[in-house]
Amino acid sequence: MNKAELVDTIASKAGLTKTQANEALDCFMETVVKTLKKGDKVTLVGFGTFSVSERSARNGRNPQTGEVIKIKARKVPRFKAGKEFATKIGGKK
């Protein structure tokens, strides 16, 4: 499912116009990004938690030359599905 299909589904299920549904989805994504940038988590009980974790610096290899390269440490977004969500899509019961 792409964003346009998600907006269509939200609009039909919530009784909104596609424009309203798109604005709501954009606001949700913007808020999650801003919250994660501040270093906080976003927890939606029953759905999951968005967070940021640190990926430490490490050595890698250039696949073309085999040369060892240094990969810098960086922050990466994470999503951990909640128990209820995981169960609904076929996880442990």
State the pLDDT at residue 90: 79
State the pLDDT at residue 19: 97
Average pLDDT over residues 31-52: 96
Grade residue 31 by pLDDT with cuts at 50, 70 and 90: very high
Helices (H), the chain: 3-14, 18-37, 83-88
Contact (Cβ atoms closer than 8 angstroms) between residue 58 and residue 27: no
Count of H helices and E strands in the chain? 3, 5
The pTM of this model reads 0.77
pLDDT tens digits, one per residue of 43-92: 999 999 999 999 999 999 999 999 999 999 999 999 999 999 999 887 55
Q: Is the pLDDT of residue 93 over 60?
A: no
